[in-house]
Structure 1
Amino acid sequence: MLFGVFRTAVADWNPIPSASMRPNLLEGDVVFVNRLAYNVKVPLTDIVLQQTGEPERGDIVTFSSPLDGTRLIKRIIGLPGDTVAMRNEQLFINGQAAQYGAFDTVAETVTTVGQLQARRVSEQGSGQAQAHRIQLLPQLPARRNFAAVTVPAGHYMMLGDNRDNSADSRYFGFVPRALLIGKAERILVSANIQEHWQPRFDRFGMKLQ
């Protein structure tokens, strides 16, 4: 019982079940989640007792979906008060265009579709401490454009790094702070689920960015 309380209030681990955070998180990764990064909560609830830190743009976080309560993992793109827009896949935060770096092209297998060519680029939004990689799949239908929206007070905008293959704030809206579970800080262990769960030792202990 004490271990269960620890997992729901202090620290937790989160298996990655889908491709929505590729190329940074892969199916079969298990990430360490710091539940005290932002809030102290009553165990097994979303009741916040005390705030412990401020989420930052670029953080990878776990949270409960405002749509159906499913636990999700995405990246914070918009903070409270930010104005965010997307034009032809390019982000604009508070009127400033995100910066994009050189990319490579890799073969990516998408469930129910097959093998596609994926473009991987670095993205750094305004006010973000460092760039992170995202993946683009131009062949898939996706919401690559939306008009400027302002993130309400106490809410956050989340996007997946696999930008064209992620159900995120473009579909379920903004996420209230009370639904944040914790900050994903590093990969604990990893196994290739398509290769008989062979360990991916090079990913063990990898810090997320």
Structure 2
Amino acid sequence: MARLREWLRENRGFLLFLVGFLFFRTAIADWNPVPSASMRPTILEGDVVFVERVAYDWKLPLTDISLRRTGEPRRGDVVTFGSPRDGTRLIKRIVAVPGDTVELRGDRLILNGEPATYAPVEEVAETLVPGVAVRGLREIEQWGGQRRVVQFLPEVRARRDFGPVVVPADQFFMMGDNRDNSEDSRFIGFVPRRLIIGQAHRVLVSADITGRWAPRWDRFAAPLR
């Protein structure tokens, strides 16, 4: 016991730093590596994104218990959350908020009866698995004054028709920007607000995980739009 007390005394500064660091990551801000392609082209595999945990709620650390609401999740926000199906941490975009009616027809978004508009950007070769690439179509999607680049993969099987459904109170409809390669609310259902971890604002660092982890310098500190 005496040795333990001596060790605690000698390492008090480090322990205080560790406690503060853990509190910061679990209560205020976090950074998350992204392993999947579901948010291409906005977020790439190998990006590490900065997540503001207090964007919407002050939560009791390591729980989903909200102590105070600090903001409201909005359409277009990129957020991290726990999957309502199995708790897996995911990152997607909020497409519809409580009270919205959301529908997809032929991969085209219809929100509250108003179709989004689309403008072609480019055609790319999208790698599904090493050695297998398909055609990817990137387009600017616009609705309600918001615009973002989304991607479609016409050569793969996907859920391109959905709804219409009305988003319940305190729940949200999430979608990946890589519309035909994303397990989102079309499959896992609405996401309760309590499962939202925080808002992702920008890429901190990035590395090409398929190219020997070469740094993507142009993505360092890049904002998410």
TM-score with structure 2 setting the length:
0.90
Q: Does 1:109 align with 2:127?
A: yes
Cα RMSD over matched residues? 1.1
More helix by share: 2
Deviations 1:70-128 (A, max 9, x none): 10000000100000000001111000001111231011110278111100001122x3x
Residue 3 of structure 1 corresponds to which residue in structure 2?
21
| Deviating more after overlay: 149-158 vs 97-106 | 97-106
Residue 92 of structure 1 corresponds to which residue in structure 2?
110
The amino acid that maps onto 2:59 is K
Which residue of 190, 196, 200 corresponds with 1:180?
Answer: 196
Residue 203 of structure 1 corresponds to which residue in structure 2?
219
1:160 shift after superposition:
0.3
Deviations 1:1-59 (A, max 9, x none): 22111101100001010000001100000000000100110000000111100111000
Residue 18 of structure 1 corresponds to which residue in structure 2?
36
Q: Which runs of 5+ in 1 are unaligned?
A: none
Residue 159 of structure 1 corresponds to which residue in structure 2?
175
1:170 shift after superposition:
0.2
Q: Is the 8 A contact 2:83 2:195 kept in 1?
A: yes
Task: Return the alpha-carbon distance in structure 2 between the equivalents of residues 112 and 189 of structure 1.
Answer: 23
* Corresponding residue pairs, total: 207
The amino acid that maps onto 2:148 is H
Task: Return the alpha-carbon distance in structure 2 between the equivalents of residues 112 and 15 of structure 1.
Answer: 20
Which residue of 194, 207, 219 corresponds with 1:191?
Answer: 207
Task: Return the alpha-carbon distance in structure 1 between the equivalents of residues 30 and 43 of structure 2.
Answer: 17
| Deviating more after overlay: 100-109 vs 188-197 | 100-109
SS of aligned partner of 1:102: strand
Task: Return the alpha-carbon distance in structure 1 between the equivalents of residues 110 and 131 of structure 2.
Answer: 30
Residue 7 of structure 2 corresponds to which residue in structure 1?
none
Q: Does 1:169 align with 2:182?
A: no
Residue 35 of structure 1 corresponds to which residue in structure 2?
53
Q: Is the 8 A contact 2:120 2:137 kept in 1?
A: no
SS of aligned partner of 2:120: coil
Q: Does 1:80 align with 2:124?
A: no
SS of aligned partner of 1:131: strand
| Deviating more after overlay: 99-108 vs 12-21 | 99-108
Shift >6 Å, 4+ stretches: none
The amino acid that maps onto 1:12 is D
Task: Return the alpha-carbon distance in structure 1 between the equivalents of residues 132 and 179 of structure 2.
Answer: 18
Task: Return the alpha-carbon distance in structure 1 between the equivalents of residues 210 and 176 of structure 2.
Answer: 22
Residue 146 of structure 1 corresponds to which residue in structure 2?
162
The amino acid that maps onto 2:104 is M
Q: Which runs of 5+ in 2 are unaligned?
A: 1-18
Deviations 1:169-199 (A, max 9, x none): 0000000000000000000000011111110
Task: Return the alpha-carbon distance in structure 1 between the equivalents of residues 120 and 133 of structure 2.
Answer: 23
SS of aligned partner of 2:187: helix
Task: Return the alpha-carbon distance in structure 2 between the equivalents of residues 194 and 19 of structure 1.
Answer: 12
Rg comparison, structure with higher value: 2
Task: Return the alpha-carbon distance in structure 2 between the equivalents of residues 37 and 181 of structure 1.
Answer: 9
Residue 10 of structure 2 corresponds to which residue in structure 1?
none
Residue 59 of structure 1 corresponds to which residue in structure 2?
77
Task: Return the alpha-carbon distance in structure 1 between the equivalents of residues 84 and 174 of structure 2.
Answer: 12
Task: Return the alpha-carbon distance in structure 2 between the equivalents of residues 7 and 180 of structure 1.
Answer: 15
